[in-house]
Structure 1
Amino acid sequence: MEDLWRALSRLQLAERELGDVLGQVTRLAAEHVPGAESTSITLVRGDTATTAAHHGEMSLAADELQYDEGYGPCLDAGRAGVVLRIDDTHTETRWPTYVARVVEVGVRSSLSMPLPYQGTTIGALNNYSTKPSAFASEESAEAAREVAEAVAVAVANADAHALLGEHARNMELAMQSRAVIEQAKGVLMAQRHVDADAAFDLLREASQRYNRKLRDIAAGIVDSVVGPPRR
């Protein structure tokens, strides 16, 4: 476990794409979760589940079989927030159609660990093996839990970064809108010989009359005065 903690502590989250981080995490899981031969990360957004990263083709094939079926240990773990383990696909009865098919891609046992996120779950870390009972030890569960928490942190970091970027874009648009509205007010003040408040009232009345955004009305007024850009 110390090697796993050390490896997770070295994960670089800043200035990296989420897919790159999760790809590295799946490799760490395959190396440090006892029994894991192939690993993947399922993210559930609304009604849609996707494999965000995987290490080894067996995990991707097993995930996609579950998406086809609409159920399975990784989907159920991600949706319900419970740990789900299959000790032997030859005798498993909870997902009969899925286990009958997943045997064909080599899966004999698996461990799906939910991803904790702000009091809920957003998916699962999936660990697969070609051997039966590969994840029966508490050590496997503990290691998978540690990796799942790292995944949740990476997703939270990516979401926060995206939200910050969206706020910055919205602020830039707001500033641009304010600038063009102030320009249009200046035009109306000069043309109509009114003060700033009256000019704004004229803009607002035009916006309501023509059912157009205030910024679009303002831009039209400014363009009519400035004219098209020269080439």
Structure 2
Amino acid sequence: MTHVAPMDPHEAFAELGRIRLADIGLDVLLDKIAQLAKRTIPGASEVSVTLLHGNKPHTAAFTGDLALALDEKQYERGYGPCLQAAESTSSLIVPDTGSEQRWPGWAQTAAQAGAHSSLSVGLPVHEHVTGALNIYATAPGAFDDDAITIAQTFAGFAAVALANAHLYETQATLAGHMQKAMESRAVIEQAKGILMGERRCTPEEALAVLSKLSQDTNRKLRDVASALVENAHRRRRP
């Protein structure tokens, strides 16, 4: 496992708050959350972020193979602390995987892999998306009350950043759709204007011609209009 210099929690919280969503993607944000958590939460050896959409969990970011492997063992079995934390958006601590009885099969696997305690803190990201910040330690009893408080505070900042990222991506997607709709409308209006000039028809009749051609050729109305506009431009070229 890699060791990195510890980071002051307040500095980590400030860094999460300074993130500009226009400058980074969701994957980069998730990786940053995992890396910052590893440096900030006392006792952390490896960290992962579980996202749960509906009933489908996946590890969206991780700092090492141990965290990924122990997450995926939970997904395979259908139970475990990170899954329960993600589902309930609560905090779950495993003081000693060697004596853990709530998830005995997974706990035994964790102990054998070298993870002797863990802490999972729920992340309420969105109405349909929840998650968990999972912190694994190589020593039993690695997370005292101070570490748990820091992890929960960190998870709160991370949840806000992820919720904002989700909202930003949703708005960006909506803006993209609106832009495409505006472009489609513009080319359709151009095509209607060409037909009106060539056929001396009304706007309604021109649209009817385009719609029939779209149906007859099994092509989108925008594509039919775009082809007509392009052909008209070709005819006008010297």
Q: 1:159-213 CA deviation, whole Å, 9 max, x = no partner?
A: 2332233123212211221122112211221222123343234434555676653
Q: 1:229 to 1:9 in 2, by over 3 A?
A: farther
How far off is 1:224 after superposition? Answer: 4.5
Is residue 64 from structure 1 mapped to residue 69 from structure 2 by the alignment?
no
Percent identity between matched residues is 40
Is residue 124 from structure 1 mapped to residue 124 from structure 2 by the alignment?
no
Q: How many residues align?
A: 228
Is residue 216 from structure 1 mapped to residue 192 from structure 2 by the alignment?
no
**TM-score computed with the length of structure 2 as normaliser:** 0.82
User: Which deviates more from structure 2 when the two are superposed, residues 189-198 or residues 81-90?
Assistant: 189-198
Equivalent position to 2:10, from 5, 12, 36? 5
Equivalent position to 2:149, from 121, 142, 163? 142
Equivalent position to 1:168, from 167, 175, 183? 175
How far off is 1:115 after superposition? Answer: 0.4
How far off is 1:72 after superposition? Answer: 1.0
Which residue identity does 2:92 align to in structure 1? L
How far off is 1:228 after superposition? Answer: 8.7
How far off is 1:20 after superposition? Answer: 2.8
Runs of at least 5 residues in structure 2 that lack an aligned partner in the other structure: 1-6
Q: 1:20 to 1:192 in 2, by over 3 A?
A: closer
2:3 corresponds to which residue? none
RMSD of equivalent CA atoms: 2.7
TM alignment of 1:1-231, pairs within 5 A: 3-11=8-16, 12-14=18-20, 15-118=23-126, 122-135=130-143, 137-204=144-211, 206-207=213-214, 212-227=219-234
**TM-score computed with the length of structure 1 as normaliser:** 0.84
- Contact residue 18 and residue 154 of structure 1 kept, 8 A: no
Q: Tell me the secondary structure at the aligned position of residue 115 of structure 1.
A: strand
The separation in 2 between residues aligned to 1:210 and 1:60, in whole angstroms, is 50
Runs of at least 5 residues in structure 1 that lack an aligned partner in the other structure: none
How far off is 1:80 after superposition? Answer: 2.3
Q: 1:229 to 1:80 in 2, by over 3 A?
A: farther
Q: 1:227 to 1:160 in 2, by over 3 A?
A: same
- Contact residue 13 and residue 157 of structure 1 kept, 8 A: no
